[in-house]
Structure 1
Amino acid sequence: MSLFWRIFGLNAVVLGTATALLLWAPVTVSVPVVLAEAVILVGGLAVMLVANAVLLRVGLAPLDRLTRLMTTVDLLRPGQRLPARRGHGGVPELIRTFNAMLDRLEAERATSSARVLFAQEAERRRVSQELHDEVGQSMTAVLLELTRAADQAPEPLRGELQQAQEITRESLDEVRRLARRLRPAVLDDLGLVSALTSLTGDFATHTGLGVRRRFDTDLPSLDHETELVLYRVAQESLTNVARHAEAERVEVSLRHSGDRVVLGVSDDGRGTGIVHEGAGIRGMRERALLLGAALDITSTPRAGTQVRLTVPAPRERS
């Protein structure tokens, strides 16, 4: 039954019942209307309106649920659906169409996100290579020239050249660190555990925070795409800790549980109670969406924040 005939039928039932009561009820209307008759008519009208409202509320309840879902649906949290109802036309057809639209939008969002992220990684690889090969080599040549000039220069020029040496050496180290952040060569060469070990080591060195690593030794073999997503989520999580958490210690874990690989990053910072999802967190959700993974972020006031990425095994995803 379509929505039009559903509402028409409900109103017809209420008005037909009211008409039947007026025809067969032993109630008459005088002219002018006496108080008792007015009370009966007003009471009947009130009952009719209440009955009509209740029936319409029941009949239109699926539309209310659909409206609430429309206001809360997020394509980065796939799987939000309304249960499909049997029947043709009207509300059931609207719900099925909306669910089909969500399926299509989620598939298109995953495809477009994959293209963007792959292009981003390719650009990062290119910039990292140029920093390492072009800028790094040029700064190394400058450093060698400064060293040779400092060895031959008299005082006090030698001291100034040595100071320029130190500045150049620090800048070269920073360029190399940026190149590693853009594209960690250790991830390609030695795998995920070594890359996370290097990442957390650099993080501890530059922030002064204590880092605890807990990596399982029986991790399954992961494809490069999965390892890259796990690495980037850990990298972004540590960046958020350094910027916002006001923490003293961080724990990074990588565990194997059944057909799942679980990455965890937790800190002992101030927490917020409410997770404000900026560009960094939404970027993590975009990456999780590529693998069909589940990203959970909880933040407790004065108890820190926990990031948990649960990735299905590659054979299960395929």
Structure 2
Amino acid sequence: MRYSWLPSSLLIAAFVAFVGTAVGASQSLTLLLQRDAERSQALRTQAELQRLLSLLVDVETGQRGFIITGQQPFLRPYEEALAELEQLRPGLRRRLADNGASPTALQRLDALIQQRLTQTKMTIDRRLRHGDDITRDLSVYVDDKRVMDDLRFEIKELAQLQQERVSAADEATQQVQQRTMRLTQLLPGAGLVTLALALALMLRERRLRDRAESALRDANTGLEREVAQRTEALSRALQRIRSFASELDRGIEAERRRLAREVHDQVGQAGTAMKMLVIALRAKLAPRTEPLLDELQGMADESIRAARQISAALRPPLLDELGLDAALGHYLQTLQRQSGLATTLALDEPDGIAPEQANPLFRIVQEACTNVLRHAAATTLRVAGHPRTQDGRHGYELEVIDNGRGPGDTRADASGLRGMRERAALAGGSFDFGPGLGGGTRVGVWLPLDAPVAEGEGGEPDGETWL
């Protein structure tokens, strides 16, 4: 009986460890909620800053349309944007102040917005009074561009500040999670050591053996129940993370569509307006010629081409309008024309691919082709697709096969491969990478077609090396 106090002491120590872990977990949960609130506030402010810039662009669009045409319907975007600006600005200013923006930056932003709105109103008034004579006054466009550039810079700086707050909240959240994980890892180890010592002492005390065995069974049952509960909680957390990632990808793709539309509409319209002005000026100078007009018209054409290229890179229009088959065909033709790589495309039953499946498939093919150009030293590239059933689920498989040098010593966790693998996993499918049957490299992706999948894209191929 001289050792009977040791098992009790060990049990008390285990209880203290459980209580300490529970208290630490509770504190960690409170900190996580605080950081999540800060992050959400910063993201909301960041989104409102982007909306502010979009409204200012709408004001610019309405003004320019009215200046060029002189027709009142072109002022509708301008008037609607002004009304929404009046509602957005007070709340945005309060949130910016709460989220760390300096009074000087806020005053500077307000002054630039007011200056831009005043310029716009004056320009519209001049158009009403003097007619289309204002279209020949280049100083109007120069002043407008200068103020808009200053506004974009200020909004970008404020958005960067919000992004820093998001990053700080994410970092703090990660630290809390790591601390909590360490606590949960220490608990089972401490419990096992405590139980082992208690068992050794109980074996030496024969009269307490039955009681010790019963206590051990009860402890094991409790631990198994807790492990099951924690496993279930982790499964729910993983599901929430995947849901959040899918929602984030949908938001990214929607933003890319919006940016593509904005680039096409705004930059393209500006280039078209410049070209129209050059044509009008050339007609007024005829029969005289001016070499600078040719150069200016060339710059206008180049800006229009650049707007189209950037818009297509952000979101291929064929993917939405004609589907995966047409989008991949156009992409491979462009690839062949630009690089000299002989490409072929063979898709079986492409009409069976749902629109939400087309985007991740297209992005994975883009990433694979980019890496072939950079690392494979190939002369031919083939993209093939066909329906395939896997684990009882109906799906579609795409393969990208080249005749290059093969995978070699490519790491399985290289960033390019990791990006494609994660994109396929997010879409609920699988990814395969290895040597082709006839040499070269084969990249394969399979996505299920019998379940809804989030339209995740994660951006264009990042161009990072496989090695």
Q: Does 1:194 align with 2:326?
A: yes
Structure 1 runs of 4+ with >6 Å offset: 12-16
Equivalent residue for 1:256? Answer: 387
Equivalent residue for 2:400? Answer: 265
Contact map agreement 1:274 1:299 (CA 8 A) in 2: no
Equivalent residue for 2:447? Answer: 311
1:196 to 1:147, Cα distance in 2 relative to 1, 3 A: same
Shift of 1:146: 4.3
Contact map agreement 1:241 1:247 (CA 8 A) in 2: yes
Mapped to 2, the partners of 1:165 and 1:277 lie a distance apart of: 49
Aligned partner of 1:88 among 221, 224, 242: 221
Contact map agreement 2:395 2:450 (CA 8 A) in 1: no
Letter in 1 for 2:322: L
Max Rg structure: 1
Shift of 1:12: 7.5
1:134 to 1:295, Cα distance in 2 relative to 1, 3 A: same
Mapped to 2, the partners of 1:206 and 1:168 lie a distance apart of: 24
Q: Does 1:123 align with 2:312?
A: no
Shift of 1:110: 1.0
1:192 to 1:95, Cα distance in 2 relative to 1, 3 A: same
In the alignment, structure 2 segments of 5+ residues that lack a partner are 1-190, 206-219, 455-467
Equivalent residue for 1:178? Answer: 310
Deviations 1:116-158 (A, max 9, x none): 1111111101110011111112213333444566684757x53
- What number of residue pairs does the alignment pair up? 242
Equivalent residue for 1:222? Answer: 353
Equivalent positions of 1:1-318 (< 5 A) are: 3-4=192-193, 7-8=196-197, 88-90=221-223, 96=228, 99-100=231-232, 102-146=234-278, 152=286, 157-158=290-291, 161-162=293-294, 165-166=297-298, 168-216=300-348, 218-219=349-350, 221-258=352-389, 259-270=394-405, 271-275=407-411, 277=413, 280-298=416-434, 303-315=439-451
Secondary structure at 1:314's aligned position in 2? coil
1:317 to 1:232, Cα distance in 2 relative to 1, 3 A: closer
1:304 to 1:153, Cα distance in 2 relative to 1, 3 A: farther
Equivalent residue for 2:84? Answer: none
Secondary structure at 2:243's aligned position in 1? helix
Shift of 1:284: 3.2
From the two aligned structures, give the one with the greater helix fraction.
2
Letter in 1 for 2:401: S
Mapped to 1, the partners of 2:225 and 2:382 lie a distance apart of: 49
Contact map agreement 2:354 2:449 (CA 8 A) in 1: no
Contact map agreement 1:275 1:298 (CA 8 A) in 2: no
Give the CA RMSD over aligned residues: 3.7
TM-score, normalising length from structure 2? 0.44
Contact map agreement 2:386 2:397 (CA 8 A) in 1: yes
Letter in 1 for 2:239: A
Deviations 1:155-187 (A, max 9, x none): 7x53x6445544543443232122112122222
Secondary structure at 2:385's aligned position in 1? strand
Equivalent residue for 2:16? Answer: none
Equivalent residue for 2:7? Answer: none
Which range is displaced more, 171-180 or 93-102? 93-102
Letter in 2 for 1:88: T
Contact map agreement 1:292 1:311 (CA 8 A) in 2: yes
Shift of 1:207: 2.6
Secondary structure at 2:352's aligned position in 1? coil
Mapped to 2, the partners of 1:95 and 1:191 lie a distance apart of: 47
Mapped to 2, the partners of 1:188 and 1:109 lie a distance apart of: 28
Mapped to 2, the partners of 1:164 and 1:208 lie a distance apart of: 33
Shift of 1:97: 5.5
Contact map agreement 1:260 1:313 (CA 8 A) in 2: yes
Secondary structure at 2:310's aligned position in 1? helix
Mapped to 1, the partners of 2:396 and 2:341 lie a distance apart of: 26
Mapped to 1, the partners of 2:445 and 2:296 lie a distance apart of: 45
Secondary structure at 1:239's aligned position in 2? helix
Q: Percent identity?
A: 29
Letter in 1 for 2:249: L
TM-score, normalising length from structure 1? 0.62
Letter in 2 for 1:133: D
1:153 to 1:94, Cα distance in 2 relative to 1, 3 A: farther
1:203 to 1:112, Cα distance in 2 relative to 1, 3 A: same
Mapped to 2, the partners of 1:146 and 1:290 lie a distance apart of: 50
Mapped to 2, the partners of 1:246 and 1:150 lie a distance apart of: 50
